[in-house]
Amino acid sequence: MIQLGFSTLQMSRRITRLRCCVRNYVRDRMAHGSAKPTGHPRIPNDRDERSVIGIPIPYIAYIGITTTFLLGPAVIFFFEDRYNTLVRRDSEANSRKVKRIIFYTINYAFILVALVPTLVNAPNQDEAKALTLKEFPCLPPYLVNTPGFYRATNNAGVATSSLMFVILVEFGQISFFFAATALKVFNMKTASKRTSEMQKQLFKCLCIQVIIPIVIICVPCSYVVGLTAISHLDQAANNIACILVTLYGVLSTICMLVIHKPYRLATVQLFQFRKLTVPTSLFVGSLN
């Protein structure tokens, strides 16, 4: 039994060494020539360094930026739904539904089109790497020359202008729907006092829930856009911004559970053996 275990351990070590040798051989051959003994020398291709899992890096950058800025239409539609439910008197009309569909389509199309400059303005990566080392001599050369390093643009003004334009358009729409809905909710006279207070409480809770993505995503992204505009590199700030953006899902979920009583009670009930019998009220804004 001991001999068998020792032989197995030796075999495992030999296989591990063999894997390392093969991996190093393939890596060296890919870096200096063809992996085939009888083939022609491999010419490095700029497209090889500009792709991840077969997807060009410009497309990955475009998808990442676009999905982040799609948060804007989500917040817009949130306040637009409350505006349509509480302020508009023709919310159930068919013409109003058609107008809302067109409005949603235009907002999504605007995000997809407005961020195209981040895709088409990609520079030659050899020149971009040389320019990066010249502008930021503090960066070690091995970092810039690492396969997968990608500079989105040499002209930060184009990318910054498109991003700031998107932010201003989205912020303008959010401000309008928020102001119109807030004026209606806090000056509601047609409903009873209890209904008015419940509408105010619900609106406050929803606003607090919406603040989370604005703080967690918009503030770090705006800070990064500002650094890009002035061509300033602060890797620590970039790392903090990325960490904050990735924490959005967890913090948003925790915020929703803390603010809304029905969700909070349902979550507590999951971790208890006895059922809670607490009367709750639930408001649902109609999307129809």
| 51 touches 57 (CB < 8 A) | yes
Whose structure tokens read 């275990």? 5
Query: With 50 as the cut, is the pLDDT of residue 47 above it?
Result: no
Choose the weakest-confidence range: 88-92, 209-213, 229-233.
Answer: 229-233
Predicted confidence (pLDDT) per residue in 59-91, tens digit = 877 888 888 888 889 889 989 998 998 888 888
Mean pLDDT, rounded, for 129-137: 80
* Interatomic CA distance for residues 237 and 222, integer angstroms: 12
Query: Per-residue confidence at 117, pLDDT binned at 50, 70, 90?
Result: confident
| 210 touches 171 (CB < 8 A) | no
Helices 248-259, 235-246: axis angle to 10 degrees equals 40
The CA–CA distances, whole Å, from 256 to 205, 237, 239, 260 equal 9, 28, 26, 6
* Interatomic CA distance for residues 42 and 227, integer angstroms: 39
| 206 touches 68 (CB < 8 A) | no
Query: With 60 as the cut, is the pLDDT of residue 3 above it?
Result: no
Query: Per-residue confidence at 275, pLDDT binned at 50, 70, 90?
Result: low
Pairwise pLDDT comparison (205 vs 22), residue with the higher score = 205
Query: With 70 as the cut, is the pLDDT of residue 274 above it?
Result: no
Predicted confidence (pLDDT) per residue in 85-108, tens digit = 888 888 888 899 999 999 999 999
The CA–CA distances, whole Å, from 173 to 178, 183, 237 equal 8, 16, 29
Query: Per-residue confidence at 23, pLDDT binned at 50, 70, 90?
Result: low
* Interatomic CA distance for residues 91 and 98, integer angstroms: 11
Mean pLDDT, rounded, for 16-28: 49
What are the respective helix, strand and coil percentages of the chain, to the nearest 5? 70, 0, 30
Residue in 106, 107, 283, 100 with CA at minimum distance from that of residue 206: 283
Mean pLDDT, rounded, for 255-282: 72
